[in-house]
Amino acid sequence: MSSGVLVAVLISSAGAYAAPPSESPAAPSPGVVPPGVVPPVPPPPFALELDSGVDLVDDLTEARADLRAARRRMCGLAAEHARLSRAAATEGRLRREAEGRVTRAAAAEVAAAGDVRRLAVRAYMHGSPELVNAALGSFSSSDGVVAVTRNLRLLEQIGDDRTDDLVDARSAHREAEGAAARHARLASRYLSSRDSAAKKLEAEFVAASVAAKRIEANERAADQWHRLAVSSSSPILGPSRLNDKDLASFVRESGLTPKTTVTIEELARMFIEEGAAEGVRGDVAWAQSILETGFFTLPGGKVRPSDNNFAGIGACDSCERGHVFPDARTGVRAQMQLLRTYADGEVGIGGFAHAAVLPGSLRLGFRGFVRSWWDLGGRWASGPDYGSHVYDIYLRIVAAAVHSGGTTGGRVRTP
């Protein structure tokens, strides 16, 4: 099939958006089928609960957030552990240096005390009992440095400076002992804090391991979920299987030239990001946009390339023109939020990841009943088999990605 024919088929398959925000149907209604036309046969129902993809996305998102948080805390604790180890090592070195000074100061004190003894003998030989008693009193460490200093001042009468040497030696000895004790206490405190940080680091490692196992289990569940999502009966809400490169490559390989306000690679990345933000399968929404826009070529109609409207939003059968969005991301966001609104009857004005682009769409009466892509027929577009056309394109994108090696085993891909 040539590119021109393919675009023509896609455009003829895409219907106008059937329920603009101003309309509010009171109850769910089946796809509109013209009189005399046999309605399409719906595909077999999805094998799992239609909200299972939402639960999967939520748990996977939470596990990834837990893993990131645990890793951040591990980095902080590892840095704190290293800092405390360095501090403890420094205090240990300072304690050893102080202990060396204690040894030297003790030796100096002993030497100074010997000099004072000799001074006392000389004083005795000069017949000065008071000087002798003062010298002997200076040997008692219990007197303290002040008392020793007071007593030794009496010996200064004979003009000898060795009494000052003893005072200085004793002061240096006590100071060195105090420094050694202080550094020992600090080293012990740092080591205790380091051990506490090590225990916390170990606990965070366990938390990170648990989160990693949850991610692995959820990715296995996602593989199974995607293996079952083989028809348009599959949910609108859930995880994407493909990544932005898979999506852009499919459009590039069509041989057509997209007419978009950003590159097709940038646009594909927005679909994955905005879809993930709203819990919508952004890769299937990409297939929807291919159907609506003819591979983003927008060959005429009620939507122009500059409108940044990739899903025919507001381009109803009786409307002159569809919605115009200021930039590509806003247009993608509107599409994802509208799909979320269709599928989730509980979402409110503040329930989106970002500010609501089309708040009026929350008044749609059938919201919450459009759970699968098949359900879009007659609601998003007038054709009853609209969802089947969307999903057929999506399955072609998947097949192309698997063939090119872009996706392996249905593994969920993240941008």
Is residue 105 in some structural domain? Answer: yes
Q: What is the domain range of residue 254?
A: 3-46+235-404
Assigned token pair, 192:
């205790």
- On whether both 85 and 201 belong to a single domain, the answer is yes
Is residue 63 in some structural domain? Answer: no
Is residue 226 in some structural domain? Answer: no
- Per-residue pLDDT tens digits for 120-154: 666 666 556 665 666 556 555 445 555 555 555 55
- On whether both 125 and 202 belong to a single domain, the answer is yes
Is residue 186 in some structural domain? Answer: yes
Contact 366, 28 (CB under 8 A): yes
Amino acid in position 71: R
339 CB-side CA count, 13 A = 32
- On whether both 242 and 391 belong to a single domain, the answer is yes
Is residue 339 in some structural domain? Answer: yes
Confidence (pLDDT) at 414: 40
Confidence (pLDDT) at 404: 84
Is residue 218 in some structural domain? Answer: no
Number of domains forming the structure of the chain: 2
- On whether both 380 and 311 belong to a single domain, the answer is yes
Assigned token pair, 308:
């940044």
Burial status of residue 5 (CB atoms within 10 A of its CB: 0-12, 13-18, 19 or more): exposed
What are the pLDDT tens digits along the chain (415 aa)? Answer: 334 434 444 444 444 443 333 333 333 344 455 566 677 889 999 999 999 999 999 999 999 999 999 999 999 999 999 999 999 999 999 999 989 988 998 898 788 777 767 766 666 665 566 656 665 565 554 455 555 555 555 555 545 566 677 778 888 888 988 998 999 999 999 999 999 999 999 999 999 999 999 999 999 999 999 999 999 999 999 999 999 999 999 999 999 999 999 999 999 999 999 999 999 999 999 999 999 999 999 887 788 999 999 999 987 766 677 899 999 999 999 999 999 999 998 988 889 999 999 998 888 888 888 999 999 998 898 888 999 999 999 999 999 999 887 654 444 444 3
Contact 309, 303 (CB under 8 A): yes
- On whether both 184 and 300 belong to a single domain, the answer is no
